Amino acid sequence: MPSGDLAVFKELLSKARHDLATPEAFRDNPSLVWEFYHYRRVLVSSKTPNSGHYALMELENLLTSANRNFTLATQNVDGFHSSIGSKNIIELHGNLFKVRCTKCGKVAENHANPICPALAGRGYAYLNALNRNNFVNRKSAWFLDCCYLQYPK
């Protein structure tokens, strides 16, 4: 977590979510978008499911054992519900660890950290970039294409 004023950090993160979590942002600057998601993946990777996740799993088990339907709709993007065994999950805002091929649309789960060498040692530079209205080097951009990671030439 960056040092400094937490309020400024939260404000920049809120702005980043609105500015970077879009197909248009990925089209315009894939490097910056990947850095944004890498930062979020690193944060989530250091966390574990909490008692709320387990309580919902217990409720699911209770209802399904009584032949009742159970669907869990979550705004969480951490994948914790599925990691502890919940089955019928709707991830309203997606999952940080699912990537989509830009060519064929195939979705795959990927927990590699960093997800590609270009992101090694990166963290929250995108917050500084937003603050300076400047973006990271586009030459470090990479994307998922044709069901494998492809790097620019």
Angle between helices 125-132 and 30-45 (to 10 degrees): 140
Neighbouring C-beta atoms of residue 149, cutoff 10 Å: 17
The percent helix, strand, coil of the chain (3-state, each to 5) is 45, 10, 40
Helix (H) or strand (E) holding 149: strand 148-150
Q: From CA 111, how far away is CA 28, in angstroms rounded? A: 25
Neighbouring C-beta atoms of residue 81, cutoff 10 Å: 23
Closest CA to 43 of 67, 78, 70: 78
116 is in an annotated binding site: yes
146 is in an annotated binding site: no
Catalytic residue ranges = 93
Q: Which residue ranges make up the annotated binding site for Zn(2+)? A: 101, 104, 116, 147
Q: Which residue ranges make up the annotated binding site? A: 101, 104, 116, 147
